[in-house]
């Protein structure tokens, strides 16, 4: 059995992604800052017949993130799919002229250093398998900078550049890298932005292995 590691797992998109990939036979590693929350979600998934465990790590703590991914791979099976979708912190969402260098430092740790750390941790296992998928989920500012949310706009640009370069660099190794852009809020019942709908889109990105960037809906 191989594993999907969901970084930023919660009861919305993370839970839906876990169930979609778990239904296809993946073990599920749930990673977030709160062991209590991911532990509860893992218990619910286990009760429903999935192989799931929760691991606590702050994506701004590279050593903790790498250790959580290492434990997940050892306990559940090699990580074949990495999905990175932690919810940005409020201090990253300030207007441009109110955003300080300190605000940007945190945003870059969250959206650049975290993804780089995670990818380097799981890449050897994917190479050993001969296949893999890395999926990044970003808000609309990941495709169109928004001065109302300067921190995420700047940091998502770095994350997107990293991901786009990975898409090209790893294609020859049968490792697919994609980015799902979700403009606005993830909303239950929405035709394009319901968590289950988005989880299905991510599954399609994993299985169809098409282009790099996919939009949940058109940006106006």
Averaged pLDDT, groups of 10, the chain, 220 residues long: 96 97 98 95 98 97 98 98 92 91 93 98 98 97 94 96 98 98 92 95 97 90
Query: Looking at residue 14, which CATH number applies to its domain?
Result: 3.40.50.720
Domain that holds residue 77: 3-215
Identify the pLDDT of residue 157: 96
Is 152 inside a domain boundary?
A: yes
Annotate the chain with DSSP letters as a single string.
--EEEEET--TTHHHHHHHHHHHTT-EEEEEES-HHHHHHHHHHHHHTT--EEEEE--TT-HHHHHHHHHHHHHHH--EEEEEE-PPPPGGGSS-GGG--HHHHHHHHIIIIIHHHHHHHHHHHHHHHHT-EEEEEEEEGGGTS--GGGHHHHHHHHHHHHHHHHHHHHHGGGTEEEEEEEE-S---TT-TTTSHHHHHHHHHHHHHH---SEEESS---
How many domains, in total, are found in the chain? 1
């Amino acid at each position: 059995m191989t594993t999907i590691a969901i970084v930023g797992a919660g009861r919305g998109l993370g839970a839906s992604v876990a169930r979609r990939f778990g239904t296809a036979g993946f073990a599920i590693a749930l990673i977030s800052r709160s062991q209590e929350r991911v532990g509860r979600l893992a218990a619910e998934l286990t009760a429903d017949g999935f192989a799931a465990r929760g691991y606590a790590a702050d994506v701004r703590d590279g050593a903790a993130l790498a250790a959580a991914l290492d434990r997940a791979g050892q306990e559940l099976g090699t990580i074949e799919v990495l999905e990175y979708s932690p919810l940005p912190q409020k201090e990253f969402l300030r207007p441009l002229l109110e955003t300080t260098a300190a605000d940007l430092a945190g945003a870059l740790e969250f959206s650049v250093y975290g993804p780089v750390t995670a990818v380097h941790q799981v890449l050897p296992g994917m190479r050993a398998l001969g296949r893999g998928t890395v999926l990044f989920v970003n808000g609309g500012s990941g495709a169109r900078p928004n001065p109302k949310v300067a921190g995420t706009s700047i940091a998502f640009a770095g994350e997107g550049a990293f991901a786009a370069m990975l898409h090209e660099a790893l294609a020859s190794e049968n490792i697919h890298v994609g980015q799902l852009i979700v403009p606005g809020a993830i909303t239950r019942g929405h035709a394009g932005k319901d968590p289950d709908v988005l989880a299905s889109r991510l599954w399609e990105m994993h299985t169809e292995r098409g282009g790099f960037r996919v939009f949940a809906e058109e940006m106006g």
